[in-house]
Chains A and B, each alone.
Chain A
Amino acid sequence: MLKKVILLLFLSVLSLYALEEQNIQKVTDTKVREVLNILKDKSLSQKQKDEMNVRIIDNIFDFDIMAQISLGKRWKTLSKDEQRRFSKAFEKKIKHSYLDKLRLYNNEKVIIKDLEKIKSNRITLETQVIGLDDTYKVIYLFYKKRQTDQWYIYDVELVGVSIIQTYRKQFAEFLTTKTVKELIESL
């Protein structure tokens, strides 16, 4: 069940690029169809599918901000070099996890639901993943980057579980006994 959910969360954001507010819903919907097609395409090898999928999410997920949030206040204690290395490692981790879950795709449907503006620089987009026996709610959390005025995904909530929050807790616990260097290595 959860694998499907995770998979679909990623499915539904495939092939997005940095968005403007009015496009979020429409583009998401279109791109999801594309991705589903890629996944269903039996002529592609697993490696090819993986590469295409990674390319798709590169533009829409803000991995830097995700890495920053996942470390919480600790982020500011890192040197510039450590921040850069951590962001890289974290991005790799997220992508690896994403590809891993994507392999579980099993003909589920994805429906894009409502967009909700929480405040001036935060938007949530609700989608539904419909499997054979169950339907799951997946919410994408967008924020508006001041420098570019574009919207990026900074977190995803599956059935009420925030991916970034999960990592935040994990890293916080890890860092009670270990160093950032060890954390980067473990990622």
Chain B
Amino acid sequence: MLYTFYQKLILKYPLSVLIILVSSILIFGINVLKLEIDASAETLLLNDDKDLAFSRTVAKRFQTNDVLILAYKPKQDLLSPKSLQTLTRITKDLEKLPRVESVDSLINVPLFFSPVREMDDLINETRTLKSPDINLSMVKHEFLTSPLYKDSLVNKEFTISSIIIHLYQDPEYFTLLEKRNHLLDKEKSASLTKAEKQTLHDVTEAFKAHRDAQRDIDNQNIKAIRSLISKYHNEATFFLGGVQMISNDIVGFIKNDLLIYGSTLILLIILVLGIVFKKARWVMLPILICTLSVIAITSSLGYFEWEITVISSNFIALQLIITISIVLHLIVRYEELLTLYPHASSKRLILVTMLTKATPTFFAILTTIAGFSTLLYSHIYPVINLGWMMSAGISMSLIIAFIVFPAVLMLLKKTPPVKQKKSMAFIPSLTAKIVLHDKKAIYIVTFLSIVFSVTGASQLIVENSFINYFKKDTEIYKGMSIIDRELGGTTPLDIILTLSDKNSTFSSTAATQENTDEEADSFEDEFSAVEDQEQYWFTNEKIKIIKKVHDYLTHLAQVGEVQSFATLLDTGKILNKNKDLDSIDLALIYKKLPQKYRDVILTPYVNIEHNQLRFSTRIIDSNEGLRRDALLKKIKDDLTQLIDPDVATVQLSNLMVLYNNMLQSLFHSQITMVGLVLLIVFLMFLVLFRSLKLTLIALIVNIIPIALVFGFMGWLHIPLDIMTITIAAIAMGIGIDDTIHYIHRFQIEFEKDNRYYFTMHRTSTSIGNALYFTTLVIVIGFSILTLSNLIPTIYFGLLTMVVMVAALTSDLILLPKLLIHFKPFKRVK
């Protein structure tokens, strides 16, 4: 069938085929314009995370809104007239921005202790820095010592202060989201009516449109804030922080990196191809095929409305690797045949090239697709998408390469074969020599590699620190770490206590006194009728719990700012001549407190209706000893120990938890994935080689490079995070491809003389070249990534290089060694 396809179509009408293919790709390429990049932090969260639903409930219930934090470091003293003037001006400017609801800074936060006053005075008149007759040294003391402001509004040295930018909540987003999720849930449990299906479709569309519009507005907002800051750069230094800003920035960096290094990488690949093959066609053809493949896949993404996210942003680099590998195999095979049969017709040479490479390439791509398909088992949209993208992308690469390569070659004149310099292709023949003369060294090195991998992998940590995505000497790192270390931390974590509703009402049957007392009963009725009024909620028992939890949290080294109802209690204590507020005091405050104060000091931390307390904290992301998962487990365990579970239950929420869930899920899906891939590959090898012995050999050869990658990551303390997670998939893709090509060729060569040593030598010096050149081109190309300023890009480049070299070494040394040792092939007479 393939023979007919090439004979009757591709090789007969190469120009027409090319024109049709290229023009359809280009026409389809219009869809590239629809390609969307989703950089929001939301994309990193799990699809079906219960904690996500809970975090959204918390955000609604406690009316918390998103904030951006701007660190302000004036050239003069923080309270000098000039720096306060600048602060006033920038605050006014910020308040004018459409997304900004309000701005809190030194100049407008309420002052409670400058001087200490009676509580009703405080309620009747809020004093701020702008009030007349303010004593600045008193104010400074308050900022540095008040439970409300110390270490979050100002740093310990009193040189930097926070400008907290409160953004408007987006109720429309949640309304649409809830509507959509409600229908999706219903769809899972029962079938939807026709009308409901239509509604679901409409809501999904509306949600997406709203989210896209909102995202644009958010990006505009951050841009506007940045341009505002630049207006004031002569007077002060500013650093913008906040989780969303960081994740947005990172995506920007990644995109830039991909653009700069991606184009340099292409140039490098062109250069290496030129040096290795010394023919313009062998440079142009791979580049043409890569370009067409990338256009095809990106337009497909646009067409199917799949969005590129942080995780899938390196899919183009991955596709380049695999496409180059396909084309180089074809080039090497063609050159090989050309050297062997210099007088054969061009058509014949091309046909044989395509037919002999079809099976191994098809299986190589199939196993790679199998590798990437396992990404579909993760619960994270971007990772699932990457799985789809890669599977679709490399399928396209295979089809495009197998059409464009022969068609273009048919249109070109046959040229004499490339004479490889010895120095260029010395590696494959060197590996053949190593295998021939080796006694035990290969096994010893393999064993040591396994030891290295296992010990390294056991040190592997699953962490995702946004701050550590940047080199420590970059401005952005310095800015982030100032907010992180000096102004209360970065990643928000909420601790929610749900108090039990159990009350100690007793039935009269428990009474020991026999006479029922009418008087007592009438009092009982009178007091029971009003006992659920909100002002009575603040009992001493609750106050004790709040203080206990708050104190516990403030003593954790990895926790920065902690805000809760206890902050108010501490402030109240200072105002109350250092006496704790009791439940009567609190009931009175609750009754007397104007709504505007309630919204600031009560609503974010206490929800009487649901009997819940919220402790809002920020985690110090740059803390070296921070192990996110362990910290969350510790907090939950400790608090469960600290508080009787009959009294209150503990739940954690907000981004810290959501990112951690995502990472843990990623980690566990990695383990499942690796297992699954090996199983799928095992079955495929079995189908392809029809020999258990050979399948096991191929499997062992592939496990080593994958293990080495994890070993390397462990020993170099490279965490497994959203960026490095795809490395395993590359390791499998590349390694397995190499193995299939090698064994396939070995099989063919073995049939010629049934002698393992000679077969090995012939295989290594023929197909070995293709493997070697692919590795060479990619390693040199990707080495450029290690010059990036972005740590994930460096890791990506470095680990790709490690994978490629490990896979090549394993396939050119260990694989032939095992084949010679175990002799899996049947002699053909």
Contact = CB atoms under 8 A, between A and B. Distances in A.
A165 B527 contact: yes
Interface in A132-187: 133-134, 143, 146, 154, 158-166, 168-170, 172-177
B689 interface: no
Contacts of B508: 73, 76
A170 B507 contact: no
Interface stretch (B266-274, B400-408, B518-526, B662-670): B518-526
Q: Which of B120, B502, B510, B644 has the most CB of A within 10 A?
A: B120
A11 interface: no
Given A1-B123, A6-B584, A173 B542 contact: yes
B697 interface: no
Contacts of B118: 1
A2 B119 contact: yes
B569 to A, nearest CB: 14
Contacts of B533: 165
Q: Which of A69, A76, A160, A175 has the most CB of B within 10 A?
A: A76
B504 interface: yes
A169 B508 CA distance: 19
B227 interface: no
A77 interface: yes
Interface residues of B, number: 47
B499 to A, nearest CB: 9
B495 to A, nearest CB: 21
A1 B512 contact: no
Nearest to A65: B523
B473 interface: no
Nearest to B513: A76
Interface in A109-125: none
A75 interface: yes
Interface string B663-702: 0000000000000000000000000000000000000000
Interface string A72-97: 11111111000000000000000001
B139 to A, nearest CB: 24
Interface in A4-50: 4-6
B198 interface: no
Contact of A160 (B513, B524, B535): B535
Contacts of B519: 65, 146
A73 B523 contact: no
Interface residues of A, number: 42
B363 interface: no
B506 interface: yes
A161 B510 contact: no
B17 to A, nearest CB: 81
Nearest to B506: A73
B753 to A, nearest CB: 86
Q: Which of A68, A160, A173 has the most CB of B within 10 A?
A: A173
Interface in B559-589: 576, 582-585, 587-589
Nearest to A73: B506
Chain A contact residues: over half helix, strand or loop, or mixed?
A: helix
A161 B528 CA distance: 14
A143 B527 CA distance: 14
B541 A174 contact: yes
B506 A159 contact: no
Contacts of B591: 159-161
Contact of A159 (B511, B530, B531, B592): B592
Contacts of B530: 162, 165
B589 A2 contact: yes
Contact of B584 (A1, A2, A131): A2
A163 B585 CA distance: 10
Contacts of B119: 1-2
A65 B519 CA distance: 10
Given A69-B523, A164-B527, A170-B583, A176 B503 contact: yes
B124 A173 contact: no
Interface in B79-94: none
Contacts of A175: 504
Contacts of A69: 520, 523-524, 527
Given A76-B508, A76-B510, A154-B523, A169 B539 contact: yes
Nearest to A178: B541
Contacts of A78: 512
B584 A168 contact: no
Given A161-B587, A162-B530, A164-B527, A170 B540 contact: yes
B28 interface: no
Q: Which of B123, B507, B530, B587 has the most CB of A within 10 A?
A: B587
Nearest to A79: B512
Contacts of A164: 527
B536 interface: yes
A165 B536 contact: yes
A1 B587 CA distance: 12
Contacts of A77: 506, 510-512
Given A1-B119, A176-B502, A72 B588 contact: no
Given A2-B585, A76-B512, A161-B587, A168 B527 contact: yes
Contacts of B527: 69, 72, 162, 164-165, 168
B531 A168 contact: yes
B275 interface: no
B588 A172 contact: no
Nearest to A103: B577
A161 B582 CA distance: 13
B583 to A, nearest CB: 5
A39 B589 CA distance: 26
B524 A72 contact: yes
A64 to B, nearest CB: 11
Contacts of A97: 582, 584
A72 B524 CA distance: 6
B157 interface: no
A68 B523 contact: yes
Interface in B483-515: 500, 502-508, 510-513
B574 to A, nearest CB: 14
Given A1-B119, A1-B588, A169-B539, A176 B506 contact: no
Contacts of A65: 519, 523
Interface string B95-134: 0000000000000000000000011110110000000000
Given A77-B511, A166-B584, A170-B539, A176 B589 contact: no
B518 to A, nearest CB: 9
B9 interface: no
Interface in B300-336: none
Contacts of B505: 72-73, 172
A166 B520 CA distance: 18
B536 A169 contact: yes
Contact of B647 (A5, A134, A176): A176
Contacts of B589: 2
B515 to A, nearest CB: 10
B646 interface: yes
Contacts of A177: 644, 646-647
B524 A73 contact: yes
A108 to B, nearest CB: 11
Nearest to B517: A76
Interface of A: 1-6, 65, 68-69, 72-79, 97, 131, 133-134, 143, 146, 154, 158-166, 168-170, 172-177
Q: What are the 7 closest A-B residue pairs judged by CB atoms, nearest first?
A: A1-B120, A76-B511, A2-B588, A73-B506, A161-B587, A173-B541, A175-B504
5 contacts: A68-B520, A68-B523, A76-B508, A160-B591, A177-B644
Given A73-B508, A73-B524, A172-B505, 8 more contacts: A3-B576, A69-B524, A133-B120, A162-B530, A164-B527, A165-B536, A169-B536, A176-B502
